Structure 1
Amino acid sequence: MGKVRIAVIGTGSIAQNRHLPEYDENPNVEIVAVCDIVEERVKEAAKKYNAKPYTNYEQLLELEEVDAVSVCLPNYLHAPVSIKALDSGCHVLCEKPMATSRSEAEDMIDAAQRNNKKLMIGHNQRFVSSHQKAKAIIESGEIGKIYSFRTAFGHAGPESWSAEGKGSWFFKKDQAFIGAMGDLGVHKADLIRYLLSDEIREVGAFVETSAKENADVDDNAVFILKTDTGIIGTLAASWAYTAAEDNSTVIYAEKAILRLEDDPRYSLIVQYKNGDTVRYELDGIQSNEDGGQSKSHVIDHFIDSIVKDKEPLIDGVEGMKSLDIILAAIESVNTKTIYKLEK
C-alpha cells in the first residue's frame, strides 16, 4: 500500500507533542487533515504539517480521503467521534481513557468489528523499555511467584502543559468525566494488567479533590487492587505531586523486587533475595518534563498494525478492560464498598 493518509482530530497538547510530530516522522504516513474547534490553533497545525484545516470533524470525514484518524479530544467525545470515524471507513487511534462508560466502549469495539477496522487505545506505558524488560523477567519465572505491587503516576497537573492551561477541559466534569484517575490512573491500571498478565478482579478506592481549586473532578486517587490469582497492590494517581513527576512501579516477588522507573538513573533495578542487584540503563519513560515529550512508540505501532494488517497491542477490548478498573473504582467510591469485576 501507499502512504497511510492520516487526520488528527483535536490539536491540543497531546496532538502537538506526540501524535502530529510522530506521524510526521513516520515514513509511511501522510498527514492530510487536522481538525479543532479553535480556529487559530488548527490553522497553525495545518500550516506546520502542510495539512488541510477543519473546524468540523464530520465535514473532514465526509470530504477527505483518510485511512486513519487520531482522536485527541476531551474524554466525553472519544466514543462518538471514534465511532463516526470507524463508520466512515477509518482506522482509529483514540487517546485514553477510551470512553466514559462500559456501553460506550462496547459501542466502539462493535464499530471497529462491523467495519473491519483497527481500533487502538493510546496506552503508551506498554512500550516503555523498563516495562517490557520487567514483563519478560516476570514471564521467564526467574523471580518466582508475585506477591504484591505498588504503582503511581503523578505530577503537578494538566495546567502546566494543557493547551488551555488552568481553563482546561481536564478540570471540567462534563467534559473530562474523571480527573487524575482518567488522565493518569488508567495508564497504570493498563500497565499492571500488562506486566502481570493477570486481570484485576476487586477494586477499593478513595478519591479527593484537594489540590485544585477550579476542579470538580478528582485530583488525588488511591486504589487497592486484587487480581484473579490473588496478587494485591496499590495504584495512586495524582495531580498534586508538585515538586517532581512520579511514574514508578515496584513488583514484590518470591525471589526479587523489581523497581521500575523508581530511580533517577536506572530505569529498572532488580534486587534479588540472595543479595545480588542488577541495574538496567534503558530508554527513559515518556515524560512531560524537560519542556517536551519523548517518543511514545504508540504512533509507530498503530501505523505498523495498519501496514502489516495485524491487531494492535492495545485494541478496544484491552482498552475496555483497563477502563473497567477505573469504572470499578468510581463504584467503590460511590458505594463505599469493595467492587468486584465480573469475569
Structure 2
Amino acid sequence: MIIRVGIIGCGSIAKFRHAPEYHENPNVEIAGFFDYNRERAEALAEIYGGKVYSDYLELIEDETIDAISDCSTNETHHIVTSAALKNNKSVLCEKPIAITVEKAEIILEAEKTSKGILMIGHNQRLTSAHKQAKAILQSGELGKIITFSTTFGHKGPEYWGADKSKDTWFFNKSRSVLGVAADLGIHKVDLLRFLLEDEIIEVSAMAESLNKRDSNDALIDVPDNMVCLFKTQKGNIGTATFSWSFYGDEDNSTKIYCEKGTMMIYDDPDYQIIINKMGQERICYQLEEIQSNDNQTSTGIINEFIDAIIHNRQPIVTGEDGRMALKIIEASILAAETKKTVKVVLS
C-alpha cells in the first residue's frame, strides 16, 4: 500500500525530518510541497520529486493525496490541519497542536467527522530509551514514583530554523505565541504524561526573556527560559526546565525518583538509561542517542504515522494528547504571568 503525502511548510522541520523520513519509508510517495517561500518547496521537490503547489488549499483539495504533514508555523496549525481533516486527509501536525486550547478544539472538531486520522508530532514518546524507561516503570521494578525532573535546552531556534537570523518567527509573539514553552516545553510535558501515566493537575512557573535579542537588539517578547513546578493527579511533584540559551551541549534529560531507586534518562553520554538502586546496584542501558539539532537521526514519527494509516488504528500521539500537552503549557504560562499556582482542567 502506497500513501501519497503532501508537505505544507518547507522549513527546517520538513527539510531535516519529515521529507527524509518519508523518503525512507517504502510505503510512501512524496506527492507535493507547499510553502509561502516557493523556493523552499522547489528545493525539496528537486530532491524528492512531487509537485510544487501554489496554494496550500490546492494541495489539501487534491484528491490524489492521502495524507498531509502540517509543518506550517504555530499560528496556522489550526487552519491547515482542520482544513486537511475536513478534506478527509490523514494529518501529522507538528507540535504544538495550536497556539491556544480554543484553537486546538477546532482541529478536534474537524477530526470527529473526518475519514482521516490525526497525529501530533510529539516524537519523544518514540525514542528507544523513553519506551524502555516506560516499560521499566510499568514493571514495578523501581516501585512507586515519588518525584521527577526533566530538562530540554539548546542554543536556540535561530541556529536551527530555516531563517538563521535573529528575526526568526520563533521570536515573533504573533506567530510563536508561547516561545520556548511551545517549542521545547510541550515536548517534555507530553513525555511526562507518557512516562508517568499520570496527569499534571497544578502548575507554578517562572518564564522570562533573559537572553535572546532581535535584530534591533531588543529582548524578544516571548520567553526564552522557563522553569515549572508540577503536581500530578497521583500526588507526585516535579520540575521542568526549558531553555533557548544552553550554549554548550544540548540537554534533553529526564530523571525519575522512585521508592527503590533512581532512573536517569539521556543524562550520560555513553548510556541512555542508568538505574541506581539504593546505591547498591547500577544498571546501564546502551541504546541509540536521542535525536538533536546536531544529530539528525530518525525520529520514528513518520513510520508511526504511516503505519497507523495503513492499519487504520489510533497513533501513539493523538489529537487529545496534543490538546492536553497544550493545556499544561497554557496553565504554565498563566502561572508565570500571574505568579500564582494554576490548576489544569482535565476535561
TM-score category of the 2 structures, normalised to the smaller one: over 0.9
Among residues 278, 282, 294, which one is paired with 1:277 in the alignment? 282
* Greater shift in the superposed pair: 101-110 or 259-268: 101-110
Aligned residue in 2 for 1:4: 3
1:31–1:51 Cα contact (<8 Å) kept: yes
TM-score by length of 1: 0.97
Count residues in correspondence.
Answer: 340
Deviations 1:60-116 (A, max 9, x none): 223452100000011001111000111111000000011011111111111111113
> Is 2:315 the partner of 1:312?
yes
SS in 2 for 1:48: helix
Aligned residue in 2 for 1:143: 142
Deviations 1:201-243 (A, max 9, x none): 0011100101101122110000100000011000111001001
Deviation at 1:160, TM superposition (A): 0.9
Among residues 238, 245, 249, which one is paired with 2:254 in the alignment? 249
Identity, in percent, stands at: 45
Equivalents in 1 of 2:270, 2:129: separation in Å?
A: 12
Aligned residue in 1 for 2:270: 265
1:42–1:55 Cα contact (<8 Å) kept: no
Equivalents in 2 of 1:32, 1:274: separation in Å?
A: 55
1:3–1:29 Cα contact (<8 Å) kept: yes
> Runs of 5+ in structure 2 lacking a partner?
215-219
Deviations 1:41-62 (A, max 9, x none): 1111111111101231012223
SS in 2 for 1:165: coil
SS in 1 for 2:231: strand
Equivalents in 2 of 1:213, 1:287: separation in Å?
A: 23
Tell me the amino acid that sits aligned with residue 71 of structure 2: C
SS in 2 for 1:8: strand
Instruction: Please give the residue correspondences for 1:217-256 in structure 2 after superposition, counting only pairs within 5 Å.
Output: 217-256=222-261
Equivalents in 2 of 1:29, 1:153: separation in Å?
A: 31
Equivalents in 1 of 2:133, 2:83: separation in Å?
A: 38
1:38–1:55 Cα contact (<8 Å) kept: no
Instruction: Please give the residue correspondences for 1:108-123 in structure 2 after superposition, counting only pairs within 5 Å.
Output: 108-123=107-122
1:270–1:279 Cα contact (<8 Å) kept: yes
Aligned residue in 2 for 1:210: 210
> Is 2:303 the partner of 1:327?
no
Equivalents in 1 of 2:62, 2:246: separation in Å?
A: 44
Aligned residue in 2 for 1:80: 79
* Greater shift in the superposed pair: 89-98 or 159-168: 159-168
Deviation at 1:334, TM superposition (A): 2.3
TM-score by length of 2: 0.96
> Is 2:342 the partner of 1:339?
yes
Equivalents in 1 of 2:193, 2:60: separation in Å?
A: 34
Aligned residue in 1 for 2:217: none
Equivalents in 2 of 1:60, 1:8: separation in Å?
A: 9
Q: List, as ranges, runs of 4+ consecutive aligned residues in structure 1 with deviation greater than 6 Å.
A: none
Aligned residue in 2 for 1:193: 193
Equivalents in 1 of 2:99, 2:227: separation in Å?
A: 19
SS in 2 for 1:234: strand
Deviation at 1:129, TM superposition (A): 1.0
2:169–2:176 Cα contact (<8 Å) kept: yes
Deviation at 1:341, TM superposition (A): 1.2
Instruction: Please give the residue correspondences for 1:38-77 in structure 2 after superposition, counting only pairs within 5 Å.
Output: 38-63=37-62, 65-77=64-76
Report the aligned-residue RMSD: 1.0
Aligned residue in 1 for 2:101: 102
Deviation at 1:274, TM superposition (A): 5.3
Equivalents in 1 of 2:62, 2:197: separation in Å?
A: 43
